[in-house]
C-alpha cells in the first residue's frame, strides 16, 4: 500500500513569490492534516481536513496560507506571498478516522530567500 | 495550555547500553499519546499509541509506558540502526479533533 506522498521534496523561492505544496494521502483516508517544523522548533499543527471540509484550521499562521482539498482526495497548501519566516519543513499526514493513527509523508523542505 | 516536553534533547549510547527517553505532558483530557521515530530527511514513522495510565506496548527493542503525567520509551540493548529522533505527541480533548501536539524530540545516537 502506497504511503502519503508529497511534492515537491524541496522548494527554494524568493521572498514575495508564491509556492504550492501538494499532498496525496493514503487511499481511503478521509482525514488529512498539514503540519510544519521551523528551524529549532517542534512540529506544529496547521490544519485538518475531513474529506473536502476544513475541520480545524486553528494552526494556520495567517491569511497568506491557503489550503484546499477539492474532491476530498489530494490537498494543496499555497503560500502567497512567501516570507522568510515561512521557511521550514511542511509535513502532510492522513488517517482513516480523526482518532486513528496519523501516517506522515516525507515532507517538503521550503526555503524562502 | 496543552504542552509536551521531551528529555533529554540528545542521548548518546553505546551499542547494548539500555536507556529511557522521557515525555512529560500537560493536556486536559488525554485522547492518546503517540511515539514516532524520525530519520534524517524523512517524515515521522509511527511506533506506538497509548491511551490510559498503566498501558504498555512493545516492539522489538522498544517499550513504551504511560502514567498520568508522562510516558517513557525504554530502549533495551540498542543497535546502531536505532539511531534516530524520537518524537512524542498527544491528542488533546474533544473539540481538538485530530490535532497532535508534539514535543521537540530526543535525538538518539547509538555507537557500535
Tell me how many domains chain A contains: 1
> Across residues A27-56, what is the average pLDDT?
94
Considering only CB atoms, which chain A residues are within 8 Å of B2?
Answer: none
With bands split at pLDDT 50, 70 and 90, how would you rate the model's confidence at B12? very high
CB pairs under 8 A between A and B: 62
Q: Does A48 contact B34 at a Cβ distance shorter than 8 Å?
A: no
Q: Give residue-wise pLDDT tens across range B61-101.
A: 999 999 999 999 999 999 999 999 999 999 976 765 789 99
CATH number where A41 lies: 2.60.40.10
- Strands A75-79 and A88-95 turn out to be unpaired
Q: Which of A38, A82, A33 is nearest to A62 (CA)?
A: A82
Q: Give residue-wise pLDDT tens across range A63-105.
A: 999 999 988 899 999 999 999 999 999 999 999 998 899 999 9
CA dist., res. A49 & res. A30, Å (int):
8
Residues A49, B97: contact at Cβ < 8 Å? Answer: no
CA dist., res. A99 & res. A95, Å (int):
8
A98: nearest CB among B4, B46, B98: B98
Domains in chain B, CATH or no CATH each: 3-111 (2.60.40.10)
A48: nearest CB among B34, B98, B102: B98
Considering only CB atoms, which chain A residues are within 8 Å of B41?
Answer: 106
Residues B33, B95: contact at Cβ < 8 Å? Answer: no
Instruction: Supply the range of the domain harboring residue A58.
Output: 5-112
Q: Which residues of A100-113 are buried (b: 16+ CB within 10 A; e: fewer)?
A: eebbbbbbbbbebe
Q: Does A55 contact B102 at a Cβ distance shorter than 8 Å?
A: no
Residues B101, A45: contact at Cβ < 8 Å? Answer: yes
Q: Coil, helix or strand for B102?
A: strand
Q: Is B100 an 8 Å CB contact of chain A?
A: yes
CA dist., res. A13 & res. A28, Å (int):
33
**Model pLDDT, residue A99:** 87
Amino acid at each position: 500500500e502506497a504511503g502519503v506522498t508529497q511534492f515537491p521534496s524541496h522548494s527554494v523561492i524568493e521572498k514575495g513569490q508564491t509556492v504550492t505544496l501538494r499532498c496525496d494521502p493514503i487511499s481511503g483516508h478521509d482525514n488529512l492534516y498539514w503540519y510544519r517544523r521551523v528551524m529549532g522548533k517542534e512540529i506544529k499543527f496547521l490544519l485538518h481536513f475531513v474529506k473536502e471540509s476544513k475541520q480545524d484550521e486553528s494552526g494556520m499562521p495567517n491569511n497568506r496560507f491557503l489550503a484546499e482539498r477539492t474532491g476530498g482526495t489530494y490537498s494543496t497548501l499555497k503560500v502567497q506571498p512567501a516570507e522568510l519566516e515561512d521557511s521550514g519543513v511542511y509535513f502532510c499526514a492522513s488517517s482513516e478516522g480523526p482518532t486513528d493513527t496519523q501516517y506522515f509523508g516525507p515532507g517538503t523542505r521550503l526555503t524562502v530567500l | 495550555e496543552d504542552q509536551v516536553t521531551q528529555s533529554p534533547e540528545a542521548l548518546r549510547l553505546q551499542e547494548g547500553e539500555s536507556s529511557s527517553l522521557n515525555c512529560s505532558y500537560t493536556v486536559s483530557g488525554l485522547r492518546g499519546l503517540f511515539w514516532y521515530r524520525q530519520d534524517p530527511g524523512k517524515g515521522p514513522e509511527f511506533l506506538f499509541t497509548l491511551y490510559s495510565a498503566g498501558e504498555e506496548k512493545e516492539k522489538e527493542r522498544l517499550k513504551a509506558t504511560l502514567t498520568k503525567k508522562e510516558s517513557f520509551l525504554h530502549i533495551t540493548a540498542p543497535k546502531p540502526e536505532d539511531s534516530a529522533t524520537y518524537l512524542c505527541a498527544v491528542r488533546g480533548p474533544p473539540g481538538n479533533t485530530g490535532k497532535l501536539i508534539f514535543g521537540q524530540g530526543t535525538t538518539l545516537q547509538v555507537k557500535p
